[in-house]
Amino acid sequence: MEHAVAGAGDRRRPPDRSSADLTTPDVYLATAQMRATLRVQQEALHAARESLREAGFVELLPPLIGPVTDPGIRGSKQVDVRYYGHDYRLMTSAILYKQVALHAFPKIFLVAPNVRLEPLDTAYTGRHLAEFVQLDVEFASTRYADALTLLEDLLVDIVEHVKRSCTQELADLGRELRVPQRPFAREIHADVVARLQRIGRSQEGSAEIRWDEEEALSREAGEPFFICEYPKGSRGFYDREDPARPGVLLDFDLVLPGGHGEVASGGEREYEYARLVTRMRETGEDPAKYGWYLDAARRGIRASCGFGLGIERLTRYLVGADAVWKVRAFPKIPGMLLP
């Protein structure tokens, strides 16, 4: 049977700490369901790599620690580590490193692990992990519309490959996977907020779409769709403000249908030194913490666009699971001490 997805307002209870399928990974990893899920995940990663390589992208190894990491992490906390007597951070996102990596190649991608101490209440959403992997993509001299097209093509390539190569696994999981139809709808953030407010949903116009509201939008959608052009102040300093429309960011989220919610975020990047310093200060960040990055910007970072695609969230969608912890071999659920 395909897993049920919790309805809007019906928070899924996190698994019990004593549950055998979490505290004894040797047991749940031996199940047919987990083996099928992990094979689908393997083929999804294979398809993503092939799709990007054919488009001219070069894979780089991701950083795991650094003096700074992505500050725009929506309520999560960073993990500090001591590195030869200095304070470093585990990566919450490699966004800053992706921009600088374009000095090597104009098109790059990373399969990057991340650690975020998510708020405890996110354990109930079925879509948050403290440890997860992103497919991080960045390419130079592009506009955010180019990233939308690339992401559309990438998702379609992945789904088509999984349908061809995982026929038995999908059958075992009871999942009927349908190839998305291009082009995906592109909705403006302000229009989405107005629509939510008209139906009585609590959503501020100056903020990211709340998880409950996003799930409701996802549940009523028949195809993946983009939410574009978030307001300045709702995202990190690295998302580029539209020079022609102050207060509007040239960014987006990709939302999957069926209640699976957001799977990827991206946009154009700020890359000019003065604008980066201004945006950092506007978002409450201390530019002094970003010395190496701002030094690179002063010397010249390439204009670019990119996105991060969550592998566990993608896998959840591909197999029809009701929670991301069910698609990872050794999941780390916020607030739970697990192997």
pLDDT digits (tens, 9 = 90+) for 190-223: 999 999 999 999 899 999 999 899 999 999 999 9
Residue 88 clears pLDDT 70, i.e. is over it: yes
Q: How confident is the model at residue 13 (pLDDT cuts 50, 70, 90)?
A: low
DSSP 13: P
The tokens describing 220, both together, are 């009523």
3 token code pair: 């897993």
Maximum separation of any 2 CA atoms in the chain, in Å = 57
Ordered by where they begin, the domains of the chain are 20-327 (3.30.930.10)
Residue 239 has pLDDT above 50, yes or no: yes
pLDDT tier at 7 (50, 70, 90 boundaries)? Answer: very low
Q: Decide if pLDDT at 139 tops 50.
A: yes
- Residue 14 is predicted with a pLDDT of 59
Gap between the Cα atoms of 184 and 181, Å rounded: 7
More confident residue, 215 or 6: 215
Residue 21 has pLDDT above 80, yes or no: no
Q: 155-198: per-residue pLDDT in tens?
A: 999 999 999 999 999 999 999 999 999 999 999 999 999 999 99
C-alpha triplet 128, 130, 135: angle, nearest 5°: 75
Is the confidence at residue 20, as pLDDT, over 70? no
